[in-house]
Structures are given as structure tokens and as C-alpha cells.
A = this chain, B = another copy of it.
Amino acid sequence: MTLDEIKQLIEFIKGHDLNEFELEQDGVKIRIKSSSNHQVVAVPHLPAALPIVAAAPVAAPQTPAQVAAAAAEARAVADQAAEDGGELCIVKSPIVGTFYRSAEPGAEPFVSVGDTVKKGQVLCIIEAMKLMNEIDSEYDGEVTSIYIENGQAVQYGERLFAIKPSN
């Protein structure tokens, strides 16, 4: 089954508000569970790319159902990444504002990919209403990715850093 088929299947199933769906055929096994408010709880092996796509402002209109489905997937995956056996921890923005990687223009960034960080260490600054808010790491570990460009605006809950916790 291709990713596309799986996605189609999910949308179709959501469109028909099914609670559970299970299919097993020649090696492939898929199981989809959906609660009445259309939150896909677990979608196996969706690429990280999907959430961003799905979360981006809806350009070409889709049916509300589709939007819901897509968004639900996005959230599901994000959460999963955050929980996935503690494999990766996602640092999300607690406020709306502008993202800065360094204390002032031209200065050294607080952290870069590959750096090891300690709990409480400053990762970045988010400017909101002329106030500089330092964002600290909640984990000890290694910075594996930085999702936002320096100077870019961030929304509440937007992903900032991925950190691989040490041990």
C-alpha cells in the first residue's frame, strides 16, 4: 500500500466516521482508530513532512472534513514525535512572537544543531511586544534540528527545536 493510498483511506474512513478499521493482507497490516471527534490517534509511518504541509494555511480549499483530517494527522504525528518512546523531544514556542537564535544581531547563536544542551540552558529568544523572552531547554540532550529561521515569526505551539535526550 502506498502512502497516498493510506492517506486516501484515512480521509475516506474519517469521511464515514468509523471508529475502528483494521486490514491485513499479504504482509501489510493497517489499523486505524478514530474517536467521534475525528482525532486520528495513530497513523503508522507518516513522514515528518506531512504535518507542516497539513498545518500550513489552506491555499486551495478542501472540505472541512478533509482539513480536519489533515490537521488531525498533523497533530497526531507531532505528538507522536514528542512521545515516540522519548526518541525525540520537541521544544515548542510558548508564545507568539519573533524568533532569535542569538542575544543580539551578529552575536553567536545560543545553540546550533549538534550542540549538547543542559536543562535550563537558553535555546533562543522570542520577542513579543518589545520584550525579549528567553526560551530554556526542558531537557538534557543533543539539538538534532532547528525548525525556525533566525528573525522568523512563530505562533503559539510552533515547533522550535528537536532534542535527543541523553540516555
Chain A residues in the interface with B (C-beta under 8 A): 1, 3, 5-14, 16-36
Is A5 a contact partner of B3 (Cβ separation < 8 A)?
Answer: yes
Ordered nearest first, which 5 A-B pairs have the shortest CB separation? A20-B33, A22-B31, A24-B29, A19-B35, A19-B33
Does the CB pair B26–A27 fall under 8 Å? yes
Contact B19 A8 (CB under 8 A): no
**How often does this chain occur in the complex, in copies?**
2
* Dominant secondary structure of chain A at its interface with chain B: mixed
Specify which of B1, B13, B27 is in contact with A10 (CB 8 Å cutoff). B13
**Given contact pairs A14-B16, A16-B14, A6 touches B23 in the complex (Cβ within 8 A):** yes
Residues of chain B with a CB closer than 8 A to A21's CB? 31-33
Q: In the complex, A24→B29 CA distance in Å?
A: 5
Interchain CB contact under 8 A, A25 and B29: yes
Apart from the given pairs A10-B12, A21-B33, 11 other A-B contacts in the complex at a CB distance below 8 Å: A3-B8, A3-B9, A10-B13, A11-B16, A18-B35, A20-B33, A21-B31, A21-B32, A23-B30, A25-B29, A35-B36
Query: B10, B11, B31: which contacts A20 (Cβ < 8 A)?
Result: B31
Question: Considering the chains assembled together, what is the distance between the CA atoms of A27 and B6 in angstroms?
Answer: 17
With both chains docked as a complex, state the minimum distance between the C-beta of A36 and any C-beta of chain B, in angstroms: 5
Are A34 and B17 in contact, CB atoms less than 8 angstroms apart? yes
Which residues in B have their C-beta under 8 angstroms from that of A20?
31-33
B30 near A22 with CB under 8 A, answer yes
A26 contact set on B, CB distance < 8 A = 27
- Can you name 23 A-B residue pairings with CB atoms under 8 Å? A1-B3, A1-B23, A1-B25, A3-B5, A6-B23, A7-B12, A10-B13, A16-B34, A17-B35, A18-B32, A18-B33, A18-B34, A19-B33, A19-B34, A20-B32, A21-B31, A22-B31, A23-B28, A24-B29, A25-B28, A25-B29, A26-B27, A35-B36
